[in-house]
Amino acid sequence: FFIGKIFKILNAIFFPILVVSLTFALIISPPDYLQGEAVRIMYVHVPAAWIALACYSVMLISSLGNYIFKIKNLFIINKSLAPIGLLFTSLAVITGSIWGRPTWGTWLALDARLISMLVLMFFYLLFIFITKFIENESTSNRLSSYTIILGSINLPIIKFSVDWWNTLHQTSSINVIGKVTIDKSMLLPLSLMLLAFLIYCAMIFLMKFKTEIIK
């Protein structure tokens, strides 16, 4: 009942927020002085990458808690988050490739950020395959936790790859601790798109979580 009520609230506000977000991202926000209209891909690419990393980070915390305290609900949380993380990792890679064509001159490049995102996608897929094809719940639980913990080594590589290596990918324009170099006219639509994506993620997560609990 509680999950259903939250879902209805999120469902009611999702579409209006999405419309406002797309209006700012596609119409109101200005083109970039160098990239032109191609910069609008950022409003999908960047939030998708953030959510991909956030999902994996939550899964890492849940895996550590599940491994130490054997809390079954944490495993269910991971199973519900993994498809969402895979979806947004794929979206980040695809939009990054589309954005790379006009800015880098190629669809795909051996860039550190791109390769590390592909590694993240691999660990999401590996987790999903383990939980889907290993029938023994105890074994599946243990192996999937090991997978997420092992894959966490890749998280700082994704974050700092543009600082550690000379890559095609630009350095971060938004930092939790540090200077924000993106203009407010672009920061607002970026924040709105992130909010719309987060609401969508929450809706998908609640549906998946409810299904897993019923199982």
The predicted-structure confidence for 159-204, as pLDDT tens digits, reads as follows 877 666 566 556 666 665 556 767 788 899 999 999 999 999 999 9
Among candidates 151, 168, 60, 150, which has minimal Cα distance to 113?
168
pTM: predicted TM-score of the whole model, two decimal places: 0.89
CA angle 200, 201, 202 (to 5 degrees): 90
- Contact of 46 with 20, CB cutoff 8 Å: no
CA angle 156, 157, 158 (to 5 degrees): 90
The predicted-structure confidence for 45-99, as pLDDT tens digits, reads as follows 999 999 999 999 999 999 999 888 878 789 999 999 999 999 999 999 999 888 7
Could you identify the residue written with the tokens 């929450």?
202
- Buried b or exposed e, range 184-202, using 16+ CB within 10 angstroms: eebeebbbbbbbbbbbbbb
Phi, psi (rounded to 5 degrees) for 47 = -60, -35
Among candidates 142, 155, 144, 26, which has minimal Cα distance to 89?
155
Q: Which helix (H) or strand (E) holds 113?
A: helix 112-133
